[in-house]
Structure formats: C-alpha cells, structure tokens
Amino acid sequence: MTKFKTTALMGAAAIALMSSAPAMAAGVKACLITKNNSNPFFVKMKEGAEKGAKAAGIDLKAYAGITDGDAGPQIKAIENCMAAGVKGILITPSNDSVGPDLKKARAAGILVIALDTPLADKDAQDMTFATDNLEAGKLIGAWAKGKLGDKAKDARIGMLDINKDNISVDVARDTGFLMGFGIKVPDPKVLASEKDPRVIGHETSNANEEGGVKAVENLLAKDPNMNVVYTINEPAAAGAYQALKKAGKKDVLIVSVDGGCPGVKNVAAGVIGATSQQYPLLMASKGIEAIATYAKTGQKPKASAGLTFFNTGVNLVTDHPVPGVPSIDSKKGLELCWG
C-alpha cells in the first residue's frame, strides 16, 4: 500500500506561511530567473518574489528563458546578476548546464536558491525550495490505480514528460506516478527505466498544450487502447485532452501536476481526473525571505525535516476521491490555486 507524507499545506497553514514577515534588507539586490515568463506557474512565482521583495525592501530584477530546456538565456542572466552585485539568486533551472555558473555565483558569496527544480550537482545551489515532486507523482499515480480498481492490472499508460533530458522535476514526477501506480522503477533517477508492459511509452510534451496534443497522437499511434495519460503539467494535460477528444477516445483518465486555477477548473469540468497542487508563490516569497535573512545575518536556509530541500507542500485535487489517497475537492483547490 502506498503511504503518503503528512507535509501538505492547506488553507490557513499555507496562508500563514505566505504572509509571514521577512527580515528587512533595504538596499540589497536579488535576482529571479525563471524558465519562461508565459507559464502561469512562473508568472505566479514572479508575483510572489515581487511581493516578498517589496516587503523586505529588496531591489529585485527578474529574468526569464524562452522555453523549457533552453539554458542560454538563463546563463546570461546569471552573469548579469553577478555583475550587478546581487546578494541572492532564485532560479528555476532549465537544465543542469547552468550549474557551473551558479557555482561561480556561490563562490562569490551569492546565496543560490533553486525554485521547484533542483540541480543534479548539489554544489550548484545552497538550497531548493520546492514541491515534493516525488510525492506529487505518487499521489496521482495512486489515485489513477485506485480509480481503475481491478482494471489497473491491464492498464495502457501513456507518459507525457517535458523532454528526454532527465530534468530532475521531470524524473521525480514521472517516477512518483509509476511508483504510486505500483509499477517498479529500476532506476528512479532516469526516465523510462521501467519495463512494465502497461507503459506504452514516453513522449516529449515540452510542458505545453501543443506538445501535449502531439505526444498523445504519437502514443495513440502506438496503442489506440491507451486508457491512462500521465502529464508533467496541466498545459500538457489540456493538449492531451484535445487529442483524445479529436480521436473519439472517451473514459481515458488524465492526471497531472501543478494545481493552477485553469488546471483546477479542468478538474471540475472533468477534463483532468486529478492533479497534484503546488504553491509557486510560496516558493518564491519564502526564497526572498531567505535572501533577506542571509543578507542580514549570514544564515542560510535549512531543509525540511527528513528531506534535502525546503518543502512548500502539495495537495491532490480531485472531485472523485478514492480510499487511501488523501485529497481535496476542486472547490478547495480553487481557493488555493494560482494563475
């Protein structure tokens, strides 16, 4: 039986963390570098960072890449931030190629906090503020298995990842889903290491709607009987739904991770069966607080108990709960959502 951690942030607990007062750090400079500036997840993250910076008196400069996996703009942004004399960098790394430049930043005395996506090289960041992405994946995997019941043993599963680059957040969610579903994962650090015949295949979605459409079309070409679709995020899930609808496929379970307001609305509408909700505004605002504290006292943030990162919480959102899998409904999800 899958066991779940009791680390979710809900209602008043989440709001309390979001509103806690940061240390004042007037005159301190900081940078936020996201993967792009179009995904609602990163838009909300920027909002959280800006609010936190205003409250702490920090001079914040925001940068963004163009697409997931494109590290060039992020590397340039790191160089700009170092030249500007920032005290801290918050970054959602596009991939591990930004690591060497972040290590240079750390060597220069800059606090580096990875948001949402940790780097493989532990020396490239001081701390990660993130959702427990493995747990998020386990929740949707266990939900899908419970929803199918006895039919789970004959499931036909399509996997929509970001790409094939083994990005840590991609691997954690993907692996968690498979584990939650009860599928053995020989190498939890590598995508597609599973050998279970129920998995049709893994397709690149680029974490966007257009990619979700193409990925599902490819998977249906491999197996038209696909009845479960795992998606890295809700834009990919929306694309998956479009492709399934166009192909005349009904009763296909779609599960995802993010919990943005559009995604939760798609849960309420029956487009997505269940999604794991995370809290990007909290990641960024707590990251800014950490920079303010570091600037004032030199103290660096610590990981949550039992983890290697600072956990900002996760909740499964579904209107069709299954026994043994903790969840909140879409109404509650809309109260806590972002974007």
Domain ranges of the chain: 11-130+280-301, 133-277+316-336
Paired residues of 260 in beta bridges: 338
Instruction: Encode pLDDT of 30-87 as tens digits.
Output: 999 999 988 888 999 999 999 999 999 999 999 998 887 789 999 999 999 999 999 9
Longest Cα pair distance anywhere in the chain, in angstroms?
A: 61
The answer to whether the 11-130+280-301 and 133-277+316-336 domains have the same CATH topology is yes
pLDDT at 2: 62
* Domain 11-130+280-301 in CATH 3.40.50.2300: yes
Quote the distance between the C-alpha of residue 122 and its chain's center.
19
Rounded Cα distance between 171 and 178, Å, is: 11
pLDDT at 19: 44
Tokens at 274, concatenated = 């269940």
Rounded Cα distance between 270 and 287, Å, is: 35
- The torsion defined by the Cα of 107, 111, 121 and 204, in degrees rounded to 10, comes to -130
Q: What angle is formed at CA 176 by the lines to CA 278 and CA 238, rounded to 5 degrees?
A: 55
Instruction: Go through 272-308 and write b for each residue having 16 or more CB atoms within 10 A of its CB, e for each that does not.
Output: bbbbbbbbbbbbbbbbbbbbbbbbeeeeebeeeeeee
Tokens at 175, concatenated = 């692996």
pLDDT at 117: 86
Rounded Cα distance between 99 and 87, Å, is: 18
pLDDT at 12: 36
- In terms of CATH architecture, what is 133-277+316-336? 3-Layer(aba) Sandwich (3.40)
Dihedral (CA of 294, 297, 300, 304) sign: negative
Torsion angles phi and psi, residue 50, rounded to 5? -65, -40
Edge-first strand order for the sheet with 315-317 is 199-204, 157-161, 228-231, 253-258, 274-277, 315-317
pLDDT at 3: 67
Instruction: Encode pLDDT of 4-21 as tens digits.
Output: 764 444 443 343 444 454
pLDDT at 339: 64
pLDDT at 15: 38
Low-confidence ranges of the chain (pLDDT < 50): 1, 6-19, 21
